[in-house]
Amino acid sequence: MNLFTKIKNKIKHSLQKFLSIFKTYTKIWLKQSDRHRWQQSKSLFTSWDQRTQRLASHIPPNSTVFEFGAARLVLREMLAEGCTYLHSDLVARAEDTLVADLNKDLPEIPKVDYVVFSGVLEYLFEIEKVFLHLNSKTTCFLFSYATLDSFPNIAKRRENGWVSDLSVNDLEKIASKLGKNLVHFAAWKSQHLFKLE
């Protein structure tokens, strides 16, 4: 690879990075979810399945589970015997998908044992509001989150499309308002896996 090609590629990469960050800040300013991104199957990575599996391992048999941001619906296949699976996403993933934008109108759901968010909360503007809305519907939240403690680079967060920036301390404050305990039980890449119970 010659010098010109290297320079060209570096400029292209920098421009893509800038555009991603700019797009995220625009979404923040407009308070909009990135529906276009999540309509594309190329935005749903199989590498995320490992994170989902770690969350699923904390759900016992015969539980009722509601997943937000269901994506490829892999959690359904990972659940223990006798579990009932319900789900929601920004776009329809199956005939029974509850289509909902958690950055706009919060949906009503039935009472369940577990509410799961795998790789979702980083894309929500008001995480506390979502938890408070759903708190009476479940005894336990299971979720992943890249906290500011483990992922402090704001520019990189925006490049990823993330619009929220909470610390572990922020999550503990939310847990207190919910009357629940925050339990960290695993890590996946730069993200931590938590229970609120």
| Residue in 31, 98, 103, 35 with CA at minimum distance from that of residue 70 | 98
**pLDDT given for residue 43 in this prediction:** 74
What per-residue confidence (pLDDT) applies to 47? 87
**What is the rounded CA–CA span in Å between residue 24 and residue 38?**
14
- CATH number of the domain residue 25 falls in: 3.40.50.150
pLDDT of residue 144: 98
- Closest of 127, 141, 123 to residue 65, by C-alpha: 141
Containing structural domain, residue 156: 3-196
Confidence at residue 15, expressed as pLDDT on a 0 to 100 scale: 76
Nearest residue to 172 via CA among 137, 138, 147: 147
User: What pLDDT sits at residue 4?
Assistant: 65
Contact (CB, 8 A) for 193 and 54? yes
Q: What is the model's pLDDT at position 46? A: 87
Q: How is residue 193 annotated by DSSP?
A: E
Q: How many domains does the chain have?
A: 1
Per-block mean pLDDT, blocks of 10 residues, the chain (197 long) = 71 78 91 89 84 97 98 96 98 95 95 98 98 98 98 97 98 98 95 97
Contact at 8 Å (CB) between 55 and 195? no
